[in-house]
Structure 1
Amino acid sequence: MTAPTVLTIETSSLGDRSYLVHDGDVALVVDPQRDLDRVLQLAEREGVRITHVFETHIHNDYVTGGYALARRTGAAYHVNAEDDVAFERDAIRDGDVVEVSDTLRVRAISTPGHTFTHLSYALEGERPYVFTGGSLLFGSTGRPDLLGQDHAEELARLQHGSAHRLVSELDESTEVMPTHGFGSFCSATQTEGDESTLAKEKQTNPALLKDVEEFVRETLDGLDLYPAYYAHMGPANAAGPGAADLEPPRPVDKEVLRERLTAGEWVVDLRTRQAFAAGHVPGTYNVGLDGQFSTWLGWMIPWGSPVTLLGESEEQVAEAQRELARIGIDELTGAATGGPRDWTDGELGTLATATFADLAQVRHHRQVAVLDVRNPKEHADSHVVGSVNIPLGQLPTRLEEAPEGEVWVHCASGYRSSIGASYLAAHGRQVVAIDDSYDEQAGTVGLPLEGASTRS
């Protein structure tokens, strides 16, 4: 029997993976993203027909491409029979076996914890795999609080039981193929590594090393904020979303950009924070495409707000459009390419940048405020004494809490600080963006720190 070919489709900006599995003739797909062209092109390259699509759960971090892919290809669309969805699906339940082909045999395993109806899919054969979605991740599990705090403890207990069920029912050589856990906010804790087996997880995964009470307590204590746009993903996925529309947004000129900025609309500069700092159109927000672009823009923007993109090239705009479509932001009101001089006839803005050493020095000479835009758990672990913590995703709704006067904005590396500083600057604040590593530098330059990790 020929071993199946298992191909991974990375969506690194969201910290997710999808999978295409084939036998040389027919293929199945697990948890596809909304931009279907990647899946279809891969299947064409491999010379295979997609006949089955499997969803591990109703996703909370992206708009699925599963429904649209099944309609496009005529594939059977396997979604848990217990999920409340508005479309026809091939209902699947715990223990059901799907014979995709003579060599591709898939068994559904109920693994609640990330959601109540979560399924994992075991691909049986000489080289076994299990597609675990948001259940068992590399050294972690999917977070249990996305359905609300009222369910978090119950789901954490179920997550522990699901992990143990997988290792008890499947051979320890089974390769673990999760959807989440590569920077995704769906992961309960940070994950490490690029591959794993059940044998390895038995040695490293807290869900398999700790008893249920300790696991639940540590999991719940370790949870931090997750993106606000997650609230819109579940309903979109239960409704049966269409494929991403990747037609280029309408080009806009300087006058239109000026009108949109005057109206307070979101005009987003996709360039790196260094390029933005050197010169930009005043009033624009810098959300660089070189980081978790869609996560942070989707978190900050009032849902449904018009968005105009500014990029160095049509390719950059197209990449940003693809990223946004994955989380259901479809209504782009336009785009412009080139550089700041192509976008305005007015005076350009600049953004002052600095290091933590600069902050330590300036505090000897004058009073400056420090705004920490990291998430609460990061701030609680260690922070600059006297700093104000407003998580970046909450900055638009908590703008009045930002300090007055000269504000030095920092995060862990500089990416989020540029976003936050650009937002404050667009609202008339005097800001300096710290473009530096907090972990490597903040504690070595004489800044007073406090927090859980600083206590002996």
Structure 2
Amino acid sequence: MSSVDVVALVDEGLGNSAYLVDLGDGRALLVDVSLDLRSAWAATRRRGLRPAFAADTHLHADFLSGARHLADSEGTRVLASAAGGREFGHTALRDGDEVDLGGLRLRALATPGHTHEHLAFLLLDGDTPAGVFTGGSLLVGAAARTDLVAPERTEELARLQYRSLRRLATLPDDVAVWPTHGAGSFCSAPPGTRRTSTIGAEKAGNALLRAPDEEAFTEALLGSLGSFPAYFLTLAETNRRGVLLDGEPGLRALDVDTVRGLLADGAWLLDTRPVAEFGAAHVPGALSIPLRPAFASWLGWLVPPGRPLVIVRGPGQDPAEVAWQAAKIGYGPLAGELAGGLGAWTAAGHPVVRTPLVRAEDLGGRRVLDVRQEAEFAAGHVPGASHVELGALAARAGELPREPTVVMCGHGERAMSAAALLERSGHRDLAVLDGGPRDWARAEGRPLADGT
């Protein structure tokens, strides 16, 4: 097997991997690089490389591509599907087209399914296939969803996905599989799986690749589709046009009166502090999305696009991290941040709200609302708990009883976001479980219920 120098640049929050290929002559190939270019810049600079090529496997549904910005700022040559209709300069590739990288070659393989214009890229060292960048076609232990282009095309694309995976399975067993979407991506892959694989390993262990026929594959894939963040549906068109950064994202300081004016005009106040700090005191109407790797996913799921966003953060939280995570999914530039944080708000004499945390043993007889994903809820939940996924909660808040309620998830972060959304819609007497269903089971000495 050929040996090439490939480095995975993993975004744990979105569950995706970009890849850097050292071409051995001071140049690099980047594959499926996000608009959050910090890891790509760090990797190329550390190795003294110039990003000569940027290949995109598809018009991504879960992050903005950094390819156009690299072309504009670094002179990078963009490689992408001719069927994508991109409106900026790029090398438009069709099935079987090859690009000479200088010793290595990249061959485009039409692999529609996840999207209609999807390409995989086979990396060749001479005539030896070293690995294949599979994007959203063949994943580790899975295949990416097919319901992001248009609802009426979901089954059609699932059948195309079957054929694309069968095509990839004809590659030699020792060929590396380098997918873009991985564990944690709603696009999606099983939790806990490895980030990379080989064709042989996938033929042996990937249940979808082992489906006996197209009908069985299609039924299994369509049956696995869960919910996904609404922002997924907006980014493909944005990527078709291409995105340029206007400097590095950041947060400008806003005084209390300016923030109040923005809120009065419809801006959202987004509080990124940890759950316990938000629960102890927060600005009325603020939405809690704690700053963590999954911040961008929940921002894109819970906040309507196009709204001005004002940030409240803790003193130890990096403002650049907030701004970059927002930018990579198309939320930016942000309006700014409340200068002085919550302390400035209270010093100006404005009220705060408290959403208490409760322990599992202190639930009492209060109603329990579980906001985890459907599969999580079905795998084990507090008996008698009601269930609404966090992503669907804003639309359904008016249906829910207005009674004392403890909101819960797996650890507390999603539950506090849910409680904040309910508070925004007028619900009161809310608390958040500090922990998850297993904490309740241990405290009560009782088993969890399963099913829906």
1:236-275 deviation digits (Å, cap 9, x = unpaired): 0111221364343220123333444555531111111122
TM-score under structure 2 length normalisation: 0.91
Report the equivalent of 1:319. Answer: 321
Q: Runs of 5+ in structure 1 lacking a partner?
A: none
Q: 1-side partners of 2:423 and 2:446: how far apart? A: 25
C-alpha separation in 1, matches of 2:361 and 2:31: 47
Establish whether residue 51 from structure 1 lines up as the match of residue 57 from structure 2. Answer: no
Query: Residue 372 of structure 1 aligns with which residue?
Result: 370
Q: Secondary structure at the match of 1:452?
A: coil
Asked if the contact 2:181–2:189 (Cα under 8 Å) also holds between the matched residues in 1, the reply is no
Residue 111 (structure 1) aligned with residue 111 (structure 2): yes
Find the counterpart in structure 1 of residue 83 from structure 2.
82
- Distance in 2 (CA, whole Å) between partners of 1:112 and 1:30 is 18
**Farther-moved stretch of structure 1 (407-416 vs 346-355):** 346-355
Matches within 5 A, 1:36-435: 36-102=37-103, 104-125=104-125, 128-168=130-170, 170-187=171-188, 189-190=190-191, 192-211=193-212, 212-243=214-245, 245-261=247-263, 265-313=267-315, 316-336=318-338, 339-345=341-347, 346-359=350-363, 362-363=364-365, 368-428=366-426, 429-435=428-434
> Quick one: distance in 1 between partners of 2:59 and 2:378?
32
Q: Distance in 1 between matches of 2:208 and 2:61?
A: 22
Q: TM-score, normalised by structure 1?
A: 0.90
> C-alpha offsets along residues 198-246 of structure 1, whole Å, 9 cap, x if unaligned?
1211121112222232222122112111001111101101112213643
Kept in 2, the 8 Å contact 1:443–1:449? The answer is no
- CA shift at 1:342, angstroms? 3.1
Separation in 1, partners of 2:380, 2:41: 46
**Residues 137, 191 of structure 1: 8 Å contact kept:** no
Structure 2 Cα separation of the partners of residues 42 and 413 of structure 1 = 33
Amino acid at match of 1:402: L
Which amino acid counterpart does residue 418 of structure 1 have in structure 2? M
Deviations 1:78-118 (A, max 9, x none): 1111122222321111111111112x211111111101221
For residues 129-167 of structure 1, the C-alpha deviation after alignment (integer angstroms, 9 at most, x for no partner) is 111111111111111111133222222222222222112
Aligned equivalents of 2:293, 2:406: Cα separation in 1: 21
The one-letter code sitting in structure 2 at the alignment partner of 1:400 is: G
**What value does the CA root-mean-square deviation take over the aligned residues?**
2.5
Matched position secondary structure for 1:29: strand
Q: Which runs of 5+ in 2 are unaligned?
A: none
Following TM superposition, by how much is the alpha carbon of 1:295 offset from its aligned partner in structure 2, in angstroms?
0.9
Specify the SS of the correspondent of 1:399. Answer: helix
2:353 is aligned with what amino acid? Answer: G
Mapped contact 2:208–2:220 kept (Cα < 8 A): no
Q: Report the CA distance shift for 1:452/1:39 in structure 2 as closer, same or farther (over 3 A).
A: same
Asked whether the 8 Å contact 1:380–1:451 carries over to 2, the reply is yes
CA contact (8 A) 1:24 1:48 kept: no
In 2: Cα distance, 1:22 partner to 1:397 partner:
47
